[in-house]
Amino acid sequence: MLLVAAWRGLPTHARTVAPDSHWLHDMGIAYARLAREPAFLLHVAILALTTAAFYVFLGGAPIVLGSYGVGPADIGWYIMCVPFSYVAGNFLTSRLIHRQGERHMMLVGQVTTLAGILLLLALAGLKTPLAFALPLMLLGIGHGFLMPPTLAGTVGAVPALAGAAAAVAGLMQQLMGALGGYTVGLVSHETTANLGLQLLAFSFIAVAAQFLLHRR
């Protein structure tokens, strides 16, 4: 179904390189050009680090909730708070981005994400599932604000190379997501504090990348 939709729905464009050149050579030129675009690299960094933070949540949340006495059948109900709030953030973004602009929505997303993580750390002493899950709804909303304009900036940095840009961005998301999930196993998660600090670390680096992007 995806193949048919792409075939019927996506426009085709003329090649931007010599028609008789080899596809591998063309791909190398495309990636080399993207590597020289600071705006693209910073957008990818924000995208990948935000994905890593989400995978930290996915890997650590069941451990923390289990330590609070939540059984396997109920863990999913608490975890669903974040995806649902992410959808809500996406919906609000679609309504606000035309008035606020992409960079402003990215900034709002970062602030909302950090607010959720800091609230999570502030409530770390309350060993209850709600004190863990509710602050993370702000994380989901923040990511919902942040990810769509970041994706748009990633593929829009060099419009002629949108396909190559999407491929690089997807690869970096998967690699950083794997790294985020891996770091969960390096520390104990009997309380919320360690998970919150891991979320804060990835999110803070994403904020630093966005600061550099705004300065440009």
* pLDDT tens for each residue of 84-108: 999 999 999 998 888 888 889 999 9
* Model confidence pLDDT, tens digit, residues 49-79: 999 999 999 999 999 999 888 888 889 888 8
3-state secondary structure of 149: helix
pLDDT for residue 142 is more than 90: yes
3-state secondary structure 30-81: HHHHHHCCHHHHHHHHHHHHHHHHHHHHHHHHHHHHHHCCCCHHHHHHHHCH
| Residue from 73, 60, 105 nearest 214 by CA | 105
Q: Among 1.20.1250.20, 3.30.2420.10, 1.10.3720.10, 3.40.50.2300, what is the CATH number of 45-215?
A: 1.20.1250.20
Residue 17 scores a pLDDT above 60: no
